Amino acid sequence: MTTLPTPLIRADELRALAGAVCVLDARFDLARPDAGAEAFLAGHIPGAQYVHLDCDLSAKGDVPALCGGRHPLPTREHFAATVARLGITPATPVVVCDAQGGMFAARVWWMLRWIGHTAVAVLDGGVAAWTAAGGTLETGAARSPVPASAYPLSPEAGQRVITADALQAQLGRVTLIDARAPERYRGDVEPLDPVAGHIPGALNRPFSANLGVDGRFHAPETLRAAFTPLLGAGEVVHQCGSGVTACHNLLAMEIAGLPAATLYAGSWSEWCRDGRRPVARG
């Protein structure tokens, strides 16, 4: 059985496991949703399959959703069906990548852990690290996987989720960490959502601070030193704009060896659309 380094894997480690793992490519561009799929066609890690943030990792259209916002979280059952369609079983080692820094790969990592899949790692540095390490790319559409009959959900979710109502009832009693850029957190600008600002009491830890200039995660001890002063005695909840980059902070805490935390999946894009929710600025 293939032993997969988790939660991160280096490009050289992935090259050594070529053909023995399922690679999921999650490249995406919030401003141009088709860009990731186009980049995949132009060149991807051999054998990889493409997963689309809107179509595969969010509840759009008539897909049952657990929250609102720009990238609503689908039910565990729906995502398990998506995973089975990709040919993934509980025994399948999975490596997730995106272009470089793990912004979108972290969402896939979190969702797989959420349905109980433990053998999953994020490629540190993404496709850029793969090519820098001498890895080749193949072009064109993905090879069709052999679908699994079903993906058996674990009885309890492997990751915790909180709703907007539950979060609002606990404001001031949880440590809430916002992964957005500082200017969006302060409310100076808001390029994506209808209201600027942040959830009252939230602390700002931009997900980009988890990365070095090479687009790879900082060392565990560096991440631990950065997150520890933010953590209170109670529950830690992560949010961002739409529940994507919050997963990056959750992954960073896992790398750092810190206790598991909770995701507010609807995040600011859900919160700010409800006039009952308080808003802070500055």
| Active site residue ranges | 240
Residues 6+ apart with CB under 8 A from 219: none
Q: Is 21 helix (H, G, I), strand (E, B) or coil?
A: coil
- For residue 144 the two structure tokens come to 């069709």
CB 117 within 8 A of CB 33: no
Q: How far apart are the C-alpha atoms of 271 and 277, rounded to whole Å?
A: 6
H or E element in which residue 9 lies: strand 8-9
Amino acid at 232: G
Give the C-alpha separation, 178 to 158, whole Å: 22
The packing angle between helices 220-227 and 246-256, to 10°, is 110
